[in-house]
Amino acid sequence: MDYTIKIGGEAGQGIQTIGDTLGLVFARSGYHVFTHQDYESRVRGGHNVFQIRFSDHPVMASKDRVDIIVALDRESIVNYEKELTEYGQIIYDSMSLKKKHERQQFLDIPFVKLAVEHGGSKIMANTVAVGAVMGMIGMELEMLLAILKDTFKKKGEEVIRQNAAAAMAGHDYAVKQCIKCSFAAAPLAKPKMLIAGNDAIGLGAVASGCKFYSAYPMTPSTGIMNYIAGKETAYGIIVEQAEDEIAAINMALGASFAGVRAMTGTSGGGFALMVEGLSLAAMTETPVVIALAQRPGPATGLPTRTEQGELQFALHAAHGEFPRVIFAPGTPEQAFYLTNKAFDLAEKYQIPVIILTDQYLADSQWTYEGFDTGRLKYTDYRLRGDAFRNLSDYKRHAFTDDGVSPLAVPGDAKHVVVTDSDEHDEEGHIIEDAGTRVKMAEKRMSRKLPDIIKEIEPPHYYGDPEAEVVLAGWGSTFGVMKEAVGLLSSGRKTAMLHFSELYPLPATDRFDYLRILKAAKIGICIENNLTGQFARLFRAETGYEFTHQINRYDGRPFTLEYLTGEMDARIGRL
Partner 1 sequence: MPALEDYKGGIPAWCPGCGNFNILNTFKEAVVELGMEPHQFTVVSGIGQAAKFPHYLKCNTFNGLHGRSLPVATGLKLANHEMTVVAVTGDGDCYGEGGNHLLHAIRRNIGVKLFVHDNQIYGLTKGQASPTSMEGIKTKNQPLGVFSEQLNPMTLAIALDCSFVARGFAGDAAHLKGLMKEAMKQEGFSLVDILQPCVTFNKINTFEWYRQRVYHLEPEYNPEDRVEAFRRSLEWGDRIPLGVLFRNNRPAYEKRISIIEDSPLVRHAFDISKVEAALKEFY
User: Mind giving me the DSSP string for 91-157?
Assistant: EE-HHHHT----STTEEE--HHHHIIIIISSGGGHHHHHHHHHHHHTT--SHHHHHHHHHHTGGG-H
Taking the C-alpha atoms of residue 5 and residue 524, their distance in angstroms, rounded to an integer, is 31
Q: Is 254 among the residues that bind partner 1 (CB under 8 A)?
A: yes
Count other C-beta atoms under 10 Å from residue 349's C-beta. Answer: 23
Q: What is the dihedral of CA 107, 111, 112, 115, to 10 degrees?
A: 150
Nearer to partner 1, 71 or 288 (CB): 288
Residues binding partner 1: number (CB under 8 A): 68
Nearer to partner 1, 258 or 453 (CB): 258
Part in contact with partner 1 (CB under 8 A); list of ranges 100-108, 203-211, 292-300, 551-559: 203-211
Q: Is 276 among the residues that bind partner 1 (CB under 8 A)?
A: yes
Taking the C-alpha atoms of residue 542 and residue 540, their distance in angstroms, rounded to an integer, is 6
Exactly one of 422, 466, 512, 568 binds partner 1 (CB under 8 A); which one? 422
Taking the C-alpha atoms of residue 297 and residue 288, their distance in angstroms, rounded to an integer, is 25
In the complex, least distance from residue 89 CB atom to partner 1, rounded to whole angstroms:
30
Exactly one of 95, 146, 189, 430 binds partner 1 (CB under 8 A); which one? 430
Part in contact with partner 1 (CB under 8 A); list of ranges 67-75, 206-214, 321-329, 533-541: 206-214
Q: Is 211 among the residues that bind partner 1 (CB under 8 A)?
A: yes
> Segment 457-486, which members bind partner 1 (CB under 8 A)?
none
In the complex, least distance from residue 96 CB atom to partner 1, rounded to whole angstroms:
33
In the complex, least distance from residue 490 CB atom to partner 1, rounded to whole angstroms:
35
Burial classification of residue 553, based on how many CB atoms lie within 10 Å of its CB (0-12 exposed, 13-18 middle, 19 or more buried): middle
What lies within 8 Å, CB to CB, of 191 at 6+ separation is 27, 28, 29, 30
Taking the C-alpha atoms of residue 168 and residue 128, their distance in angstroms, rounded to an integer, is 7
3-class secondary structure, 159: helix
Nearer to partner 1, 243 or 457 (CB): 243
Exactly one of 113, 429, 437, 493 binds partner 1 (CB under 8 A); which one? 429
Q: What angle do CA 260, 266, 270 make, to 5 degrees?
A: 115
In the complex, least distance from residue 548 CB atom to partner 1, rounded to whole angstroms:
38
The string over 259-274, giving b where at least 16 C-beta atoms fall within 10 Å of a residue's C-beta and e elsewhere, is bbbbbbbbbbbbbbbb
3-class secondary structure, 85: strand
Of residues 69, 74, 73, the one with CA closest to residue 106: 69
Exactly one of 77, 112, 188, 258 binds partner 1 (CB under 8 A); which one? 258
In the complex, least distance from residue 380 CB atom to partner 1, rounded to whole angstroms:
8
Exactly one of 109, 115, 168, 203 binds partner 1 (CB under 8 A); which one? 203
> Segment 97-126, which members bind partner 1 (CB under 8 A)?
none
Q: Is 407 among the residues that bind partner 1 (CB under 8 A)?
A: no
In the complex, least distance from residue 280 CB atom to partner 1, rounded to whole angstroms:
5
Question: x/- site string to partner 1, residues 223 to 242, per CB under 8 A?
Answer: --------xxxxxxxx-x-x
Exactly one of 68, 413, 481, 560 binds partner 1 (CB under 8 A); which one? 413
Q: Is 195 among the residues that bind partner 1 (CB under 8 A)?
A: yes
Q: Is 290 among the residues that bind partner 1 (CB under 8 A)?
A: no
Part in contact with partner 1 (CB under 8 A); list of ranges 32-40, 140-148, 257-265, 450-458: 257-265
Q: Is 262 among the residues that bind partner 1 (CB under 8 A)?
A: yes
> How does strand 210-215 pair with strand 261-266?
parallel
Report the largest interatomic distance among the alpha carbons of the chain, rounded to a whole angstrom: 87
> How does strand 32-38 pair with strand 365-368?
antiparallel
Exactly one of 187, 414, 433, 574 binds partner 1 (CB under 8 A); which one? 414
In the complex, least distance from residue 497 CB atom to partner 1, rounded to whole angstroms:
29
Residues in the chain: 574
Taking the C-alpha atoms of residue 289 and residue 339, their distance in angstroms, rounded to an integer, is 8
3-class secondary structure, 9: strand
What lies within 8 Å, CB to CB, of 137 at 6+ separation is 3, 68, 181, 183, 184, 185
Question: x/- site string to partner 1, residues 11 to 30, per CB under 8 A?
Answer: ----------------xx--
Q: Is 199 among the residues that bind partner 1 (CB under 8 A)?
A: yes
What lies within 8 Å, CB to CB, of 345 at 6+ separation is 325, 351, 353, 452, 455
Exactly one of 207, 293, 326, 345 binds partner 1 (CB under 8 A); which one? 207
In the complex, the residues that contact partner 1 under the rule CB under 8 A are 27-28, 191-195, 199, 203, 206-207, 209, 211-212, 214, 231-238, 240, 242-244, 246-248, 250-260, 262, 276-277, 280, 284, 370-371, 373, 376, 378, 380, 409-411, 413-422, 428-430
